[in-house]
Amino acid sequence: MKIGAVIVAAGRGARAGGGTPKQWRPLAGQTSTQFALQAFASHPGIERLVLVLHADDIATDCWPTTPDAEIVTGGETRSASVLAGLQVLEGACDQVLIHDAARPCVSRAVIDGVIDALRSGPAAAPAVAVVDALWRGESGAVAETVDRSALYRAQTPQGFDLDAILAAHRAFPDGAADDVALARRAGLTVAITRGSEDNLKITLPEDFERAERILRTRDGH
């Protein structure tokens, strides 16, 4: 089985602040995107790497030229950007891992878990079980406690049979919250694999400090 990886870096990331899209802001001497690319480029099971960029970023020097990746322009939505990346791999790979560039701390173990699960099913994705109490709020007050059993926080990379996820994107061009949601709309069973608390998605300004702490502790940057 040939496995490709699509790294999605076409968003604008306004909630992270700083003026510059979060995937291009400095992080431990590099950028979030570069760390994400390196995680997949260094994995022995990944044969092709695609980086999806916003049209405004193509002509800039913000994106890394190493490790080597095929560059493609994203679309108006995340789903459209993912589809653009998938189409590059069509006919060349059997399976694909789709990862957010804003998750720079993804580990080999998390990637391995998804690849292992794809040996016995069409789709798999890492997640972390919800352990905190959950509340539903109304007007700034607690309205009720929500049952947290069987609830998970989704992560990436999300892995799929390439033909199956391509068909799902083409069948539902309106997109979905993530590729797992789209896959389930298409009737695919998605296995849950073991995620990691360190595999955070940079969303808010304070997430940069946490990600840098994880990277420096793990990799000695």
For residue range 43-68, what is the model confidence (pLDDT) as tens digits? 999 999 999 999 988 888 888 888 88
Q: Is the pLDDT of residue 17 over 60?
A: no
Whole-angstrom distance, CA of residue 153 vs CA of residue 170: 26
Cβ(199)–Cβ(157) under 8 Å?
A: no
CATH of 3-219, one of 3.40.50.300, 3.20.20.140, 1.20.1260.10, 3.90.550.10: 3.90.550.10
Q: Is the pLDDT of residue 150 over 70?
A: yes
Q: Is the pLDDT of residue 221 over 90?
A: no
Q: Is the pLDDT of residue 14 over 90?
A: no
Q: Where are the domains of the chain?
A: 3-219
Cβ(102)–Cβ(171) under 8 Å?
A: no
Nearest residue to 201 via CA among 94, 110, 137, 122: 110
Signed CA dihedral, 21, 52, 127, 39: sign only: negative
Signed CA dihedral, 192, 198, 201, 206: sign only: positive
pLDDT computed for residue 18 by the predictor = 56
Maximum C-alpha span of the chain: 53
For residue range 98-146, what is the model confidence (pLDDT) as tens digits? 999 999 999 999 999 999 999 999 999 999 999 999 999 999 999 999 9
The model carries a pTM of 0.94
**Distance (Å) of CA 198 to CA 145, 155, 169, 185:** 27, 11, 29, 29
